[in-house]
Structure 1
Amino acid sequence: MRSDGDNEAGESVTIYDVAAEAGVAASTVSRTFSRPGRVSYSTAEKVRAAAERIGYRTEAVARASAAGGSATKTLGLVVADIANPVFIEMVRGAEYAASQAGLTVVFSNARENGKREYEALNRALPTVDGLLLAGSRLPDTTIRTVAKQKAMVVMNREVRGVASVVIDQREGARTAAEHLASHGARSIAYLSGPERSWADGMRWTGVRDAAAALGIEARRLGPFLPTMTGGQRAAETWLGSRTDGVIAYNDLMALSFMQTVQIRGLEVPDDVGIVGFDDLLASRLTRPQLSTVVGPLERMGATAAAHVMAIANGAQATTDRPVVMPARLIARGSSEPQP
């Protein structure tokens, strides 16, 4: 089937042009846009980049919306807690992808409150074309119920039966544990975050698996609030039973943890190596700088928005497995001695 879109020069651009530009089959291009999740992350990124270069995708999506696939030209985005900087990048990516297709994003902040999140979803249902959930704390059953009523994609959490886009949290945490072990850590504490956080569970699994494979001790502390206050309380708990290394649920906790133990007279990383998650700007402003694990958060938001728009326009959602994006460790002074 031939699918056309016009580039800026007014020339007709087809999926065959995109395929040639990306070096893939036309069927792969078709699946990238019509069957979200059926193409690997790296291949989908190659196709989207090629489509953008030759002016295909944005115009094609906008044309589909103009044809009646989108009724309100609005997406609803509910965030677990906008005070957590990690969500800002997701919001930025989703808003950009939506605006490129002529849609507006309506934003709601749940403030780590399940009831508030559920109420926000119910208000949004009749007024938007699709829903994005960022770090949702709602039960899986509730999310599945809402997804049956409206096109939906969940970010930063895997929900069986619902289209999801996630970062490989387990692999990221495993890499962090291996990194600490390579610098002499024989015991690692994981400072856990919200109990209903999918990412928290995956990170602990990664730490635990790495420790078992390496023959070192892994200990889970918490849960704690994913905030500076939570990090301080985690440090106070940890000081009663210290470990060689610490992996925190996020950078906010890790930064506060590091500040607290330094005030108590400990040297980082000599007395304890520390790794966080998310690569906040503040992580590069401390002494020592904070090691961290990060994924392409802005791209996650853009990918999730592209998927929910495709689903709203009639594409079949892929719900049997999430789109998984890579995580990488950024090693800095908090986890390895500097020359």
Structure 2
Amino acid sequence: MRSFRCQVCDSQLFFENSVCVSCGSALGFSRTERTLVPVDETGQYVDRAGLVWHVCRNLNLSGCTWLAPLEGGQCAACDLTRTRPADADLEGIAQFAEAEAAKRHLLVELDSRGFAVDGLVFDMLSSSGDGSNGVVIGHADGVITIDLAETDDARRERIRQDLGEPYRTMLGHLRHEVGHFVQLRLVTGGERLEQYRALFGDETADYQAAIDRHYAEGAPEGWAASYISTYATMHPFEDFAETFAHYLHIADTCETAAEQGLITVAPSGFGSFPDLVRGVWIPLSIALNQINRSMGKEDLYPFVIPEPVLDKLDFVARLAFADTTAMQ
């Protein structure tokens, strides 16, 4: 994620800031200007075009720092949440705030890469302690369902171990599920669909049968030569969604590393996404893994990227800015 500068005192700011810790100025995130801006004592900001923006009404509910077009209204990010916990559900609201922060992170990524989000909504639900009420993380026809209970580190880690996954985070869930939405929106026919099928396979294959086979038999032998994860082997839909998530993992981390001075080359200077992976991401991820090991922690990026996955990542990256629909 980018770092920002306070427009009042020029101190460094970060995406999550609602107040400048140096000068105390109240802040809001302007989606149109893609930066943090100071708001006055009434919670208003006037942009370069003379439009008046207001602090989102959900600032104290979910920690939302985005600006809304109407006084007392909510911002474009909050508008995308169709269902959330009731105000009286204190545990659910606490979980909701963490998930919403990850969602705002995701939306900035999508905006910066030209992926429109009109038609996308989120149901932020929470399963009971044993998950018996059946909240399933997933995507269906533009609706992304998130289990807020996975904001609990211990619960999420237990599920990760039970499923044999190397990585599981709330932001990772969101990136994966929005990958399904992007495929539904942008991979619809013609040459693009032919290229998709050549890389990922026939998406018309029976999905339920693929799920049953995956959980009964596991990943096929030799899967690591062609897939980014075992989950990606389940079905072409999941292969695309996993690849899309890793595209965002890599692109965002490389840009953050450049912003923080950890790499000296601009990610935008590479001619293709595979070149960025080879030239920056692979050596950077190795270094980050070693740093984590130095702290006694697991690898930050516990994945290997074979050549077929590079081709899939390139396909996904070339979808950026392919959607000409205006951002909502």
TM-score range (shorter-chain normalised) is under 0.3
The TM-score with structure 2 as length reference comes to: 0.26
Which structure has the larger Rg over C-alpha atoms? Answer: 1
The structure whose residues are more often strand, as a share, is 1
